[in-house]
Amino acid sequence: MIHRIVKMEFDPNKIEVFLSNFEENKSKIRASDGCFKLELLRDQHNTNIFFTYSYWTDEASLEKYRNSELFKNVWAKTKVLFNAKPVAWSTNVISSE
């Protein structure tokens, strides 16, 4: 299983646009083949920083989503709202309880 973490920093005046787009598309993303879970997190102190945290069956499932029209549409609406370059990590769980 792959956990995908994406850090995004937004222009404070565009956060509501991002949240609206996320709300509109979150169930579609969660319904993507191989997606087990999708969470949206917000930094406690720097409230214009958000993280998506998603769980995928494998790298192929994640790549299929990243090449989908859904991703392309969501990302096109999201990337214009940033005030810093996003950072992403694909991780494997080493230990969990």
Residue 97 is predicted with a pLDDT of: 79
Q: What is the pTM of this model?
A: 0.92
Q: What is the per-residue pLDDT across 14-40, written as a single tens digit (0 to 9) for each?
A: 999 999 999 999 999 999 999 999 999
Domain boundaries, the chain: 2-91
Beta bridge partners of 82: 10
pLDDT-derived band at 96 (thresholds 50, 70, 90) equals confident
What is the fold of 2-91?
Alpha-Beta Plaits (3.30.70)
- Which of 34-55 are b and which e, b meaning 16 or more Cβ less than 10 Å from the residue's Cβ? bbeebeeeeeeeeebebbbebb
